[in-house]
Each structure stands twice: as C-alpha cells, then as structure tokens.
Amino acid sequence: MTRIYGSRKRILVTGGAGFVGSHLIDRLIDAGHEVLCVDNLFTGTKRNIDHLHNSPRFEFLRHDVTLPLYVEVDEIYNLACPASPVHYQHDPVQTTKTSVHGAINMLGLAKRLRCKILQASTSEVYGDPAIHPQTEEYWGHVNPIGPRSCYDEGKRCAETLFFDYHRQLNLEIKVARIFNTYGPRMHLADGRVVSNFIVQALSGNPITIYGDGSQTRSFCYVDDLVEGLIRLMETSSSVTGPINIGNPTEFTISELAQRILAMTGSSVPVVMMDLPQDDPRQRRPDITKARDVLGWEPKIDLKEGLRRTVEYFKEAM
C-alpha cells in the first residue's frame, strides 16, 4: 500500500492499551507516526492510553481481534493477548482463540494490505526448557495439555501461521520472542512476579514466593524491549526472526524478592506457596541474534529498572 504522507506511517498496534503496547505507542507517536490502537480492554486499561487522546495522530478502537478487522494501515504490531499466567488461565479457551484467530485475522489484514506484520511471541514457546540459555534454534519442551498450554501452544500456533503466510503468500513477517518484561503501567493486579512483589512490599503484605524460589527468570525493562521491537520492524524484508528479545542477566525468584525488599525498605515477611503446575525451572535468552541482526542489547539493568518501576507503583497505588 502506498503511503500518503511520506515517512509518516499509519501503524496498527493490537493490545495497545496493555503494558507493553502502551509504551510502544508512546514511542511511535513520538517518532511522528499515526497509531491505531485496537484493544478489547481485557487486561489493558484506558488509563494506559489516557495521555494520548490529545494527540490528533492517535486513535483508539475497542475491538476483539478474534473478530475480523477491516482498516487501512501501513504496518501491524500484533500484541493482543493476556500475558500474565493468572489472566491467560482465567479463560483459557479465549486465550487460544486470541492467539490463533487473532493471528489469522491480523495476517489476513496484512495480506489484503500487503503490509508487514510483527508478532509478539514469547519465551513460553520454549516451555520448561531443557537447554539453557535458550537459542532460537531450540524447539522447546511444552506440555500440550496443561494449564499453561492455552498460552504456550496458542503462541506456537501463531508462529506457525506467521511462517506459513510468509512461505505461502510471501507476506513480510517479523517474529519477536519476548522474555519476561517489567516496568511502569503493569496492572496492580497483573499477577506477574515483579508487580506482585512490589505491590506486596509497598502495601505491607507478605511477599509470595511460589515453590522454593530457586527457579530463575531474566528480567528486561520495558523501554529496552520496545527499542528491540521497533528495530526488528525496521529490518529488511529478509529478516523474519524468530529473534529473542530479553535481558540475559538471570536471577532466582528469591534474589528478586530480596532486591525488591531492599529497594523499597520494606520488612514484610516472605511466605512460600505451592509452585504452579508446569512452572518453568529456568529461563534466560541467548541474544546473540538480536545483537548481530538488530545491533540491540538491553541498556537498563535490574537495579535501575526496578527503581523506575517502584516509583511508578508508589504513585499508582
């Protein structure tokens, strides 16, 4: 599709009222583009995009991506999908529909418009990984019938659809495998570990560690992730991914709890609770490809990222 206003693009961001999507939109608006944010507000909130309504280049459409969408845009970022285990397991059938039907509809849209489309995939495609750190070549270790499967298999099927639309219809695709990301605008009740621990520490409730706290994750600050997504979208048409985007510095969940307690100056107790079924034991991205292909690596370490996130939660609570 030809652009009307030179380098200014009309960009669709699905899931744009969510945590990552709203930060991505801020960057795209700052860069001078027009953005259409499509979201059903399942886990996203109007508050995340309130500040954008004054911009004539921003538009919000309340819509569910499991239904067809006919709009005219130059580029699509497909982020619509609940990302927190608590929320994606709340209505697992809808989660799979969002990943799979949502991907089909957004790919159909991209096919009609002949525009490029980026998929927000996930490190969950590696499941409970048997190789460590995870490279893009690893096919994963995923339970197809467990409580996390609606998300893991939904996202895996979405990747399949992206690569088949690419091979069969020559569609320009970009697949980002996003690892645990945190930052301001995570919902207070999001349920993921960083927001849970900060909210608990600030509100005087016990920190809830699931299992013995020895499982690991590698936490990426949201601004770093957004930079990686935009760089991936800007690559030449031969770059499809999948590309891991995440921070390779790994922490145990117990270490994370101690850091958040120290940073907030909180003395709430730590309680151990049951480990959820199929909870991955370890996770760390190999970001060699992102470094080589995108010239990207994270810049904000956990200390600085947590500082900014704690500031946000102090205001938001």
Note the residues at the interface with ligand NAD (CB under 6 A). Answer: 14-15, 17-21, 39-44, 64-66, 79-83, 98, 102, 120, 122, 178, 180-181
Strand ranges, E, within the chain = 10-14, 34-39, 58-62, 75-78, 116-122, 173-178, 181-182, 207-210, 216-218, 220-221, 243-245, 250-252, 270-273
> Which of ligand NAD, ligand UDP, none has residue 196 at its interface (CB below 5 to 8 Å by kind)?
ligand UDP
By rule CB under 6 A, what count of residues binds ligand UDP?
Answer: 23
Half-sphere exposure of residue 313: CA atoms within 13 angstroms, side-chain side: 26
Whether the Cβ atoms of residue 178 and residue 241 lie closer than 8 Å to each other: no
Whether the Cβ atoms of residue 74 and residue 2 lie closer than 8 Å to each other: no
The sign of the torsion formed by the CA atoms of 179, 183, 189, 194 equals positive
Return the number of the residue (114 or 312) whose C-beta is nearest ligand NAD.
312
Whether the Cβ atoms of residue 45 and residue 70 lie closer than 8 Å to each other: no
Among the listed residues 151, 165, 182, 221, the single catalytic one is 151
Closest contact distance (angstroms) between CB of 260 and ligand UDP is 11
- Beta bridge pairs of residue 181: 220
> Which of ligand NAD, ligand UDP, none has residue 247 at its interface (CB below 5 to 8 Å by kind)?
none
Closest contact distance (angstroms) between CB of 155 and ligand NAD is 7
Closest contact distance (angstroms) between CB of 107 and ligand UDP is 6
Cα(187)–Cα(312) distance, integer angstroms:
11
Closest contact distance (angstroms) between CB of 80 and ligand NAD is 4
Return the number of the residue (174 or 284) whose C-beta is nearest ligand UDP.
284
Identify whether 70 is a catalytic site residue.
no
Cα(125)–Cα(157) distance, integer angstroms:
10
Among 24, 186, 193, 300, indicate the residue that binds ligand UDP (CB under 6 A): 193
Closest contact distance (angstroms) between CB of 60 and ligand NAD is 11
Among 69, 80, 100, 173, indicate the residue that binds ligand UDP (CB under 6 A): 69
> Which of ligand NAD, ligand UDP, none has residue 209 at its interface (CB below 5 to 8 Å by kind)?
ligand UDP
> Which of ligand UDP, ligand NAD, none has residue 181 at its interface (CB below 5 to 8 Å by kind)?
ligand NAD
> Which of ligand UDP, ligand NAD, none has residue 98 at its interface (CB below 5 to 8 Å by kind)?
ligand NAD
Residue partners of 83: CB distance under 8 A and separation at least 6: 18, 19, 20, 43, 122, 192
DSSP 130: S
Cα(78)–Cα(226) distance, integer angstroms:
13
Looking at the annotation, which residues are catalytic? 151
Interface positions with ligand UDP (CB under 6 A): 68-70, 84-85, 104-105, 108-109, 111-112, 180, 192-193, 196, 208-210, 215, 217, 253, 276, 279
